[in-house]
Structure 1
Amino acid sequence: MTTATLQASLGYSSLTGPRPRNEDFCGAVTPEGPELDSKGILAVVADGVGGHANGREASEYTVRGLLSDYYATPDTWAVNKALDTVISALNRWLVSHAARTRETAGMATTLTAIVLRGRRYYLAHVGDSRIYRLRAGKLEQLSTDHVWEHPELKNVLSRAVGLDAHLSVDYADGELEAGDVFALMSDGVWGQLGDRKIADILCAESDPQDAAARLAMSAEDSGSQDNCTALVMRIDALPADKLRDNIARLHRLPLPPKLKLGQTLDGLTVEAVLHESIATLLYRVRDSHGHARVLKTLRPEHDDAESAAALAHEEWLARRVNDAYFPQVIAHPERSHLYYLMSWHDGATLKARLDNGHRFGSGEIADLGERILKGVAGLHRLSIVHRDIKPDNLHLDAEGRLRILDLGVAASDAQVEGQKFGEINNPGTPTYMAPELYGPKTIAANEQTDLYAVGVTLYELLTRKYPYGEIEPFQNPKFGDPVPPTRYRPDTPEWLEAVLLKAVARDPKARFETAEEFLLALERGARRPLAVPRRSPLMERDPQMGLKLLALGSVVINILLVYLLMVR
């Protein structure tokens, strides 16, 4: 019978051997509950570079640092991104530390790590420690040794943590199967035993601790001249499905019926219907303590697995965005239907303010832009792309605080397993979608396309127009040069116009790369204005028209030449 959580057994052994000290280090973290679901089990083996001072310190620092800092990264990050961020930071520290004194020069270590999460494994590897997988009695080496290929240098590392400021780490991932055995080991073990002996031991020893101890002792007894470290993990059980436990739990909840004013659901009384879309419903409700909340659920006709998973994924993301620029998810233990609660804030969206006739001044635009970008930057640090930034999704409360609404189509690195949100098409509102999201070479929405949407939003708030005109759904638009804001608002400062034109440039390379860069341009304002070309060359604006004019010019020149020849 399958279980709802991942279960794995682990064992390790590290022997000094004939060396004066053990420069190997290994460790593992086996969390429980939500952390097991979001981060998984992490195991690491490192071998301090022999012949150098502080090899042991390098391996221990790297293993301990990875084991602690990996679990401190946001849940929304992909596993490989979390591993790479932490390993890169550890490498920078080792390189810096090794350069301080002659005694620490050359301080470096190999690193081989595995994360088991859900029904997949993720590997990170640099150096000549190895990771093997035994599946159905067949042993497979999953890592590649980073040593020089020259015969005289075959035992010299070409890559290691701390060896170079520019570290290149190998990453890989794959599906888990119950009964898989993973063995991480230093070269003192695999170099002495060989693959056949390693396979024999892993097949013979069912207990991971016994297997790890036998690998290390067999290598030592066979005459290994190095430290001998082995860490063995066996997959005992896999989750029942590929969805996170909380996603699966919400999916099993029934959808509420369409609610009317005054109706009560799970102790929540409906006070107003805030919004109805094709798929979702938003209500303002009041709980038993008198607090106003926003309840978001699906329309009754959208009672399907994909819609339920999307709503549950949205709640999962919203819970992890603990930022003043976003509504906060409110826990409600009495929940017996598929919905989630958010904090309620009096006020209105920026779109509603536009519709009510408010005229935004340049100073307001700059101030709003800074606040929007601070919120967007917080999302991007969590590797979340909003994908639908627009005035409808930007809210100013009664006290003037800005909040970014609606993560309904947001995407993150750590997508729900089994779901592929936005991989084929890009959700969002066409007018605010960047040019590269259209056409045959469409890319997936990313952080930079969010910034484009911020630029269009600020442009609209200032001018009540759009830089390329309004784009209708299913339209295949063509993008020339954006219309300068001064066409509609002659009072726009030159520096602000330059910022907005850069934000909505047709070419992604001409735009801001990060929210921080965009924010800095607004903060500097007129003190350090940007230099942005107001008009691009014809061949960039319309390549086909440019080619037609070039062909026409060629024809005219040829006719002229023929005429000149004839008159002679």
Structure 2
Amino acid sequence: MSQPLSVSIGQATNKGVKEINQDAIGHCIPEEPLLSTKGIVLAMADGISSSKVSQIASSTAVASFLDDYYCTSDAWAVKTSAEKVIKSINYWLYAQTRNSPYRFERDKGYVATFSALVLKSNTAHLFHSGDTRIFRLLGNQLEQLTKDHRRVVSAEVNYLTRALGIEPVLEIDYHSETIEKGDVFIIATDGVYEFISHQQILSCIVDSETLDIAAQQIITQAISAGSDDNLSIQIVRIEHLPNYQLSELQQHITLLPLPPRLTPRMQFDGYEILREIYISSRSHVFLALDSESGQTVVIKTPSTELRNNRQYLESFMLEEWIAKRLNNPHVAKAIEPTRKRNFLYLVSEYIDGITLTQWMTDNPKPTINQVRKIIEQTAKGLQAFHRQEMIHQDLRPNNIMIDCNNVVKIIDFGSTFIAGVTDIKNEEAVRGTMRYSAPEYFLGEVGSSRSDIYALAVITYQMLSGRFPYHAEIAQVRSLSAQRRLIYKSLINDDIEFPIWIDDTLRKALNVEPLKRYEELSEFVHDLHHPNKAFISRSSRPLIERDPVMFWQGISLILLLIIVIQLAV
């Protein structure tokens, strides 16, 4: 039986003469099956010295990469997985700067260089942005494998041309190297390689008992040589390689095969299929039992009609990554695989409960407190998306589950937009379900967190009234001027006795113009619980909004009286 990939790793980091260490390093050697499917990861980030927050950027970049990379689909190649994760991290850092006091001074924002080395099977995958460097030991020489993204203007003036957090879209260098037993790779920041020679690095590696000792000695020598920056180094040596398998190469460039047609009582990839949950044009969902653990799970397979649509399959596998990134009690969880997956499918937790659609059928006239509890939990789940710069885009009652303990969970992430990852050019004009889609989608605009707030407000309105806030024709309105002429149907009537400020809250959340809605979910939830002073200070609602029929009847009566008076005169 082939032995798995094994390595030795040594690393060290030091703040040097600086007050704080703005470097970050990390690595992960996972257990099987992740060792075979995802490989071993080393990552390093170097925050820029002009920024007081770049240490947050560097530590976030390394920690997020180590976490999120292992959450990506087993069906993705290393390049696909790592690039999607890095782009997501980049956009998150860029957004932090944009929303901070440093929005106009990027050199003081959340910016960091980044380099990662992924060792999988017989291949080293290199990802790089900035001026950290990756070297390979060849004989008695160090070969630099990365190119510095730094422009030198003079001896005193130079600046980074590329790094995490500078721009919303990141171009990252990637290439791969075939590895052999005994190969040594080194990742180092400029505080190290600018102050110590290649020969000194080699001597420390060769003469030291362990790679950790070698890393510490290299740091010490660089400090003694006058290094005026933070110093970090990682050294990895390949101790054993697995047998070279052609199937592993093929998995790099092709997706896993689609599963066969699943039926009840069928044994499939270590699961027993129990029953069909639903079949749609985009996916097939089944209840299954893990034969190994005895856990009841949900298996989702791609639609057979779209099996040749590469873009659809990529989007399908993104769902698993999204679920793994969102560790929130109000979001359905992905199930971590305990064995190698042989087909393309998703596994998530089984939620023993009902959809919100069914709940509304069972509770046609809920109390305001019942509605508040469900909406508040849903909002907490949505907040987990928004914190990761993601928009759900398909929030509707069928995608909200209420379990047997009355815990609300958001499901189905097939339409989720991920900033920095989702290709806007390939986005569908309208994502999600028409009745719950925000008006901006019908204009061909990209959605935002306010679009999710709109969908949540529609659900709130529907739960309270059994109706929708606008006529179904809203989906056919294709201009902003026409949308502005749409009339919001007040929640308040003779059959509903909610406070008028609840209607004001929904009116704001359901505004056809995104910028006039709530900016944060927490604001919307707060106003559902507490009367907003801006609302209760208003006078009573105009009659035309409270009762349009009565309003026009009154106008007609006034006009009739004017005519009668004119005739009498």
Range into which the TM-score falls when normalised by the shorter chain? 0.5 to 0.7
Letter of the 1:342 partner, please give it: S
Counterpart of 2:471 (choices 462, 466, 469) is: 469
Please list, as runs of the form range in 1=range in 2, the aligned pairs for 1:310-325 lying within 5 A after superposition. Answer: 310-325=315-330
Aligned to 2:492, the other structure's residue is in SS state helix
* Cα deviation, residue 414, structure 1: 6.4
Aligned to 2:46, the other structure's residue is in SS state strand
Measure the CA separation in 1 of the matches of 2:285 and 2:146: 54
Letter of the 1:113 partner, please give it: T
Deviations 1:370-402 (A, max 9, x none): 121112112222333211001111222333222
* Cα deviation, residue 500, structure 1: 0.7
Measure the CA separation in 1 of the matches of 2:250 and 2:529: 41
Counterpart of 2:90 (choices 69, 80, 99) is: 80
Measure the CA separation in 2 of the matches of 1:468 and 1:350: 21
User: For residue 26 of structure 2, what is the aligned residue in structure 1?
Assistant: 29
Measure the CA separation in 1 of the matches of 2:526 and 2:45: 41
Measure the CA separation in 2 of the matches of 1:472 and 1:276: 28
Judging changes above 3 Å, is the alpha-carbon distance between structure 1 residues 473 and 273 closer, same or farther for their aligned structure 2 residues?
farther
- CA contact 2:92–2:389 (8 Å) conserved in 1: no
Counterpart of 2:284 (choices 261, 268, 281) is: 281
Judging changes above 3 Å, is the alpha-carbon distance between structure 1 residues 255 and 48 closer, same or farther for their aligned structure 2 residues?
closer
- CA contact 1:294–1:342 (8 Å) conserved in 2: yes
- CA contact 1:250–1:338 (8 Å) conserved in 2: no
Aligned to 2:530, the other structure's residue is in SS state helix
Deviations 1:87-117 (A, max 9, x none): 999999xxxxxxxxxxxxxxx9998632337
- CA contact 2:54–2:112 (8 Å) conserved in 1: no
Counterpart of 1:142 (choices 139, 142, 149) is: 149
% identical equivalent positions: 16
Aligned to 1:352, the other structure's residue is in SS state helix
Judging changes above 3 Å, is the alpha-carbon distance between structure 1 residues 273 and 142 closer, same or farther for their aligned structure 2 residues?
same
Counterpart of 1:503 (choices 505, 509, 524) is: 509
Judging changes above 3 Å, is the alpha-carbon distance between structure 1 residues 473 and 281 closer, same or farther for their aligned structure 2 residues?
farther
Aligned to 1:113, the other structure's residue is in SS state strand
Measure the CA separation in 2 of the matches of 1:399 and 1:140: 55
- CA contact 2:93–2:165 (8 Å) conserved in 1: no
1:272 aligns with 2:275: yes
Deviations 1:4-34 (A, max 9, x none): 99x9x99999999xxxx67796664344456
Judging changes above 3 Å, is the alpha-carbon distance between structure 1 residues 351 and 38 closer, same or farther for their aligned structure 2 residues?
farther
Aligned to 1:462, the other structure's residue is in SS state helix
Q: TM-score, normalised by structure 1?
A: 0.61
Aligned to 1:251, the other structure's residue is in SS state coil
Please list, as runs of the form range in 1=range in 2, the aligned pairs for 1:368-447 lying within 5 A after superposition. Answer: 368-413=374-419, 415=421, 423=427, 425-439=429-443, 442-443=445-446, 445-447=447-449
Letter of the 2:439 partner, please give it: P
User: For residue 552 of structure 2, what is the aligned residue in structure 1?
Assistant: none
Measure the CA separation in 1 of the matches of 2:311 and 2:349: 26
Letter of the 2:149 partner, please give it: L
Letter of the 1:325 partner, please give it: H
Letter of the 2:503 partner, please give it: E
Deviations 1:456-489 (A, max 9, x none): 1111222222222225877747422422212585
Aligned to 2:472, the other structure's residue is in SS state coil
- CA contact 2:505–2:528 (8 Å) conserved in 1: yes
User: For residue 255 of structure 2, what is the aligned residue in structure 1?
Assistant: 251
User: For residue 115 of structure 1, what is the aligned residue in structure 2?
Assistant: 115
Letter of the 1:329 partner, please give it: A
Measure the CA separation in 1 of the matches of 2:98 and 2:39: 25
User: For residue 454 of structure 1, what is the aligned residue in structure 2?
Assistant: 456
Letter of the 2:173 partner, please give it: E
Please list, as runs of the form range in 1=range in 2, the aligned pairs for 1:13-28 lying within 5 A after superposition. Answer: 28=25
Please list, as runs of the form range in 1=range in 2, the aligned pairs for 1:328-339 lying within 5 A after superposition. Answer: 328-331=333-336, 333=338, 336-339=342-345
Deviations 1:269-314 (A, max 9, x none): 4443221111211122344466543221123333234343332221
Which ranges in structure 1 are unaligned for 5 or more consecutive residues? 50-57, 93-107, 125-129, 160-167, 191-197, 537-568
Counterpart of 1:353 (choices 332, 352, 359) is: 359
Judging changes above 3 Å, is the alpha-carbon distance between structure 1 residues 270 and 155 closer, same or farther for their aligned structure 2 residues?
closer
Please list, as runs of the form range in 1=range in 2, the aligned pairs for 1:125-136 lying within 5 A after superposition. Answer: none
* Cα deviation, residue 450, structure 1: 0.8
- CA contact 1:385–1:412 (8 Å) conserved in 2: yes
User: For residue 527 of structure 2, what is the aligned residue in structure 1?
Assistant: 521
Which ranges in structure 2 are unaligned for 5 or more consecutive residues? 69-84, 103-107, 119-124, 136-142, 178-184, 207-214, 239-243, 543-569
Q: TM-score, normalised by structure 2?
A: 0.61
Judging changes above 3 Å, is the alpha-carbon distance between structure 1 residues 278 and 117 closer, same or farther for their aligned structure 2 residues?
farther
User: For residue 175 of structure 1, what is the aligned residue in structure 2?
Assistant: 173
Measure the CA separation in 2 of the matches of 1:279 and 1:505: 31
User: For residue 332 of structure 2, what is the aligned residue in structure 1?
Assistant: 327
Judging changes above 3 Å, is the alpha-carbon distance between structure 1 residues 465 and 437 closer, same or farther for their aligned structure 2 residues?
same
- CA contact 2:351–2:403 (8 Å) conserved in 1: yes
Aligned to 1:329, the other structure's residue is in SS state coil
- CA contact 1:186–1:229 (8 Å) conserved in 2: yes
* Cα deviation, residue 516, structure 1: 1.8
* Cα deviation, residue 424, structure 1: 5.5
Measure the CA separation in 2 of the matches of 1:366 and 1:462: 10
- CA contact 2:330–2:381 (8 Å) conserved in 1: yes
Letter of the 1:364 partner, please give it: Q
Aligned to 2:515, the other structure's residue is in SS state helix
Aligned to 2:172, the other structure's residue is in SS state strand
User: For residue 308 of structure 1, what is the aligned residue in structure 2?
Assistant: 313
User: For residue 185 of structure 1, what is the aligned residue in structure 2?
Assistant: 190
Measure the CA separation in 2 of the matches of 1:296 and 1:423: 22
Give the RMSD, CA atoms, in angstroms: 5.9
Aligned to 2:365, the other structure's residue is in SS state coil
Q: How many residues get paired?
A: 460
- CA contact 1:122–1:173 (8 Å) conserved in 2: no
- CA contact 2:378–2:408 (8 Å) conserved in 1: yes
User: For residue 95 of structure 1, what is the aligned residue in structure 2?
Assistant: none
